[in-house]
A and B are shown apart, each in its own frame.
Chain A
Amino acid sequence: MHSNGILRSASASLRRVMAICVKELIQLRRDRLTFAMVVAIPLIQLLLFGYTINTDVRNVPVAVVDQRDNFFSRQLIEDLQASQVIKVHTHLETPQQATDWVRAGKVSAALIVPRDVEKRFYNDNQEPIAQLVVDGSDTILASALKGLSDFPFDPSQPPSPRQLAKNITVDLLYNPEQRAALFTVPGLLGVILTMTLTMFTAIAIVRERERGNLELLIATPVKTPELMLGKLVPYIGLGLLQVVIILLLGRFFFDLPVVGSPTLLMLCCLLFIFANLGLGLLISTRAPNQLGAMQMAVFILLPSILLSGFMFPYAAMPRFAQHLAEILPMTHFIRLTRGIILRGADFSDLAGDMLFLALFFIGTMIEALKSFRKKLD
């Protein structure tokens, strides 16, 4: 008898959650702009950011000073060029000349192959075999070229593009900073999810308040957690859809490999989606109107882009900014995805960041539930 009653009220509750879900989906379907944004934002941002950053580190014009000028040195230059990171722009006579060219901005870097290049190569003393003078003013470019210091060079092999490409790939996995697209895509995934999900949910409740729908809604038997859950579920699906779009595009356009476990990656994305939805709902219960909600969402989005390690290396930020970054879900998400996608990190490496996202979601949901009252005042 009693358990029957519980069962009945649980099914009534489920039905109300479903009703809200269906309503949200109907509205989402009618809102062409929002719907288009879900697909268009990932596509445009990925192509825009992914390609601009990517092309920057390819075919960088360099001046070459080949002081050895024999088969060995020519093959080294040839191999480096085959990596497509640099492109020989001119040959110069002296290192001084080359440095002047870099200073004058005529080339982005100068490659100086010393007279004793072969001796350096066959010695075991870790001496650099050649020098690359890089224009450091463009940090992204500089860091990409810096990666060439680990360039695998084997003079016994004739230059074969395929083999070289493979070498680079292997090289990149352990030094992800070298190819920006691989580094950018996981970050973009975070930015796009934050942008769309936080914004959509940030207006979810305040919009109903502003349009007057809330007066009718709260006069029905729907309970606050049911309302919140019903509004969350459709956006979980939406977020996952975006994840799939971004990862597929990343794979298609940038050969984005996923070194680690795809299941783990999806789980992290899911946690991050939840964290953003919780935050969005919290904003929505606190904001005075839709514009206010948008402003609050942007207020979260900006530091997420700037402080999370997406734009600037986390390690290089001042202590204060690092502490601030730690409370942003995005910082943890970027760590997680870069770890899984580029390093093949496993669960034990990631547990801390995953736990943070889970707690962040629970915390924001509790706050959202507390600050939403079924009242008009």
Chain B
Amino acid sequence: MTEYVIEAEGLTKRFGDFTAVQGLDMQIQRGQVHGFLGPNGSGKTTAIRMMCGLLDISAGNVRVLGLEIPEYAEEVRDQVGYMTQRFSHYQDMTVRENLMFLADIRGMPRKQRTARVDEVLGEYNLAQITGRLAGDLSGGQKRRLSLAGAVLTQPQLLMLDEPTSEVDPNTRRDMWSRFFRLAAEGTSILVSTHLMDEAERCHRLTILNQGEKVADGTTDELKQRLPQSVVNIHGADVSGLADSLSDDGQILAATQSGLSLRVLVDRNVGDPVGYVRSRVGNQYQLAQIEAAIEDVFVAATMDTSDA
């Protein structure tokens, strides 16, 4: 039996005439790291805010830890750690003061408080700057403080809105290994991100585009279900090719990286390598390669017209 920590059905949010989230169905399993992807403005933050009971729901419903939101939002607050996308700690308080405040307001037993605050300060590499005002922190330090705040009371469910933006690569790896350790201990994590290597590591993914869910599943499933094959073009002068290829009905996208061009060719095309060769000629090395989540993302979020 799978247990869901978040279940959304037809979750919808309208701001006036504008629909920011449209009929979102989503399930997040206990103990998983669930990635939340989507271009800017696709509705990730809005969806997370509804799940936290911070925004009124226009239509649909959502249960968090088995309880209906927003009716029982207060009951689950104890068990949900929310990391906001916008820095929300008090800028005129120090790192430690902010965490102590959170510990108190979240009702952490007094005896554990100092020890636990020290522990997260160490884990998130903030021990050197405990006395610095939060407003004076660098972008990455602010993210670390926010994350430390979200995990402080060891909640069952974490909702992390872009925890790794502005964070350096080493800290990012560090954070992700912590996520997996937490997940192994039974914590469930919903994490939004724009970084494909992070998406690649999630147990499951949900991809939004313009407020609607466009893909959903484990990373392997998503790659298998990709309705395109990926062909890699390698050669000296691939930059000119991207434009000429993209007006083709069978080719969805062509993305350059260094001396290579990644081309998404419709699955209907029986021999994608041969097809591409027929378009670009013989001076390039071509190979069909395995799909990556980036391809899934590009395919899922490109086929709608830009509005």
Contact between B91 and A211, CB atoms less than 8 A apart: yes
Contact between B86 and A215, CB atoms less than 8 A apart: yes
Within 8 A of B (CB), among A116-135: none
Contact between A212 and B84, CB atoms less than 8 A apart: yes
Question: Bound complex: CA of A377 vs CA of B45, how far in Å?
Answer: 14
Question: Bound complex: CA of A26 vs CA of B90, how far in Å?
Answer: 10
Contact between B106 and A220, CB atoms less than 8 A apart: yes
> Does any Cβ of A come within 8 Å of B54's Cβ?
yes
> Does any Cβ of A come within 8 Å of B101's Cβ?
yes
Contacts of B54 in A (CB 8 A): 215, 218-219, 374-376
Stretch binding the partner chain, chosen from A11-19, A52-60, A89-97, A260-268: A11-19
Contact between A20 and B105, CB atoms less than 8 A apart: yes
Question: Bound complex: CA of A375 vs CA of B15, how far in Å?
Answer: 14
Contacts of B106 in A (CB 8 A): 220-221
Contacts of B86 in A (CB 8 A): 212, 215
Contact between B101 and A213, CB atoms less than 8 A apart: no
Contact between B77 and A212, CB atoms less than 8 A apart: no
Contacts of A217 in B (CB 8 A): 88, 105
Contact between A221 and B92, CB atoms less than 8 A apart: no
0/1 interface trace, chain A 271-309, chain B, CB 8 Å (1 if under): 000000000000000000000000000000000000000
> Does any Cβ of A come within 8 Å of B275's Cβ?
no
Contact between B104 and A216, CB atoms less than 8 A apart: no
> Does any Cβ of A come within 8 Å of B87's Cβ?
yes
Shortest CB distance A212–B (Å): 5
Contacts of B107 in A (CB 8 A): 12, 15-16, 221
Given A12-B107, A376-B54, A377-B56, do A27 and B101 touch, yes or no (CB 8 Å)? no
Question: Bound complex: CA of A373 vs CA of B82, how far in Å?
Answer: 18
Contact between A15 and B104, CB atoms less than 8 A apart: yes
0/1 interface trace, chain A 23-48, chain B, CB 8 Å (1 if under): 10011001100000000000000000
Contact between A221 and B74, CB atoms less than 8 A apart: yes
CB < 8 Å neighbour of A219 from B82, B87, B101: B82
Residue of A nearest to B94 (CB): A26
> Does any Cβ of A come within 8 Å of B25's Cβ?
no
Question: Bound complex: CA of A213 vs CA of B97, how far in Å?
Answer: 14
Shortest CB distance B201–A (Å): 26
Contact between B88 and A213, CB atoms less than 8 A apart: yes
> Does any Cβ of A come within 8 Å of B211's Cβ?
no
CB < 8 Å neighbour of B89 from A22, A27, A213: A213
Given A19-B104, A219-B52, do A27 and B77 touch, yes or no (CB 8 Å)? no
> Does any Cβ of B come within 8 Å of A222's Cβ?
yes
Contact between A22 and B105, CB atoms less than 8 A apart: no
Shortest CB distance A219–B (Å): 4
Residues of B in contact with A, size category = 20 to 34
Contacts of B93 in A (CB 8 A): 23, 26-27, 30
Question: Bound complex: CA of A20 vs CA of B15, how far in Å?
Answer: 32
Contact between A19 and B88, CB atoms less than 8 A apart: no
Question: Bound complex: CA of A223 vs CA of B78, how far in Å?
Answer: 12
Contacts of B80 in A (CB 8 A): 219
> Does any Cβ of A come within 8 Å of B129's Cβ?
no
0/1 interface trace, chain B 55-90, chain A, CB 8 Å (1 if under): 110000000000000000110011010101011111
CB < 8 Å neighbour of B105 from A19, A31, A376: A19
Question: Bound complex: CA of A192 vs CA of B80, how far in Å?
Answer: 44
> Does any Cβ of A come within 8 Å of B203's Cβ?
no
Question: Bound complex: CA of A236 vs CA of B77, how far in Å?
Answer: 30
Contact between B84 and A22, CB atoms less than 8 A apart: no
Residue of A nearest to B98 (CB): A23
26 contacts between A and B (CB under 8 A): A12-B107, A15-B104, A16-B107, A18-B104, A20-B105, A22-B104, A23-B93, A27-B92, A31-B92, A211-B91, A214-B88, A215-B54, A216-B84, A216-B89, A217-B88, A219-B52, A219-B54, A219-B77, A220-B102, A221-B78, A221-B105, A221-B106, A221-B107, A223-B74, A374-B53, A375-B53
Beyond A16-B105, A20-B105, A30-B93, 15 additional contacts (C-beta under 8 Å) are A15-B107, A18-B104, A19-B101, A26-B93, A27-B92, A212-B88, A213-B89, A214-B88, A215-B54, A215-B86, A216-B88, A219-B77, A220-B106, A221-B74, A221-B106
**4 residue pairs, one from A and one from B, having the closest CB atoms:** A19-B104, A216-B88, A221-B77, A219-B82
